[in-house]
Amino acid sequence: MQAWAFEGDCDPAALRCNTFEMEWPPRSGRMRSFPELEEAKWFGLTEARTRINPAQAVFLDRLQQLLA
């Protein structure tokens, strides 16, 4: 999981991610494409705290200080 913030206006439904190719099923000789990301969403700080990896919570603390 990655977390980042920016100031601006962006519709997460309009975001498109890159794809990567890998052999699937394994040892089949067939290559398939898969998206790098499953989904993108925006969260307010309160909800973000419930969803973020606890080790990354310091990111939200610093962001809140910058926004104050």
Reported pTM: 0.59
28 inside domain: yes
Which pLDDT does position 38 carry in this prediction? 84
Amino acid symbol at 68: A
Amino acid found at 28: S
Amino acid at the residue 50? T
At residue 62, the pLDDT reads: 92
Q: Count of domains in the chain?
A: 1
Positive/negative CA dihedral, 22, 26, 32, 37 = negative
Give the angle subtended at the CA of 34 by the CAs of 29 and 38, to the nearest 5°. 155
Q: Is residue 52 part of a domain?
A: yes
Lowest mean pLDDT among 19-28, 29-38, 40-49: 40-49
Cα separation of 57 and 68, whole Å? 17
Question: Which structural domain, as residue segments, surrounds residue 53?
Answer: 12-67
pLDDT class of 1 with cuts at 50, 70, 90: low
Average the pLDDT over 8-28 and give the result. 91
| pLDDT for res 10 | 85
2 lies in some domain: no
